[in-house]
Amino acid sequence: DKWEIERSTIEMQEIIGTGQFAEVHKAMWNKTRIVAVKTLKPGSMSTDSFLAEAQVMKSLTHKNIVQLMAVCTEEEPILIVTEYLANGSLLAYLRQRHDNKLPLHTLLDIAAKVADGMAYIEDRKLIHRDLAARNILLAGDLTPKVADFGLAK
């Protein structure tokens, strides 16, 4: 599988997110690139179900979809390596900025780009099934990207 990488190329750093089934760590790949690494919480779901998310992501390449970069599947814990988005989730970003609301044109731009990403997913005959502000990640320039394909079908 062209997506498989050596586990030794990943240096895990701090946890940047956690959910019911997984944790997401900021990590360094090949000592040169900051990435996000999703790991399955032990006993929370089957590894096959966890890997299904990576399988979905392998088929998606769009400017408003979080890009899969690699996987480590040969031993546990399974790692799903994606691009790192510096501003984190849209939900957290908006909550942190409650005093200084984003301008309407910025909010509309984010909404339009999320809709563009979701239209791309639909064109691929997929359903995300968990679209929420917590699953939209923001790049440093506030470009939104749809993330978390754990429930996608």
**Cβ atoms of residues 12 and 27 within 8 Å:** yes
**Cβ atoms of residues 64 and 109 within 8 Å:** no
The catalytically annotated residue of 109, 130, 141, 148 is: 130
Q: Cα dist. 93→82, 134, 140 in Å? A: 20, 10, 11
Q: Is 123 in the active site?
A: no
38 labelled ligand-binding: yes
In degrees, rounded to 5, the angle at the alpha carbon of residue 57 between the alpha carbons of residues 2 and 134 is: 140
Overall size of the chain counted in residues? 153
In degrees, rounded to 5, the angle at the alpha carbon of residue 97 between the alpha carbons of residues 96 and 102 is: 145
The catalytic site residues sit at 130
- Binding-site residues: 38
- Binding-site residues for ATP: 38
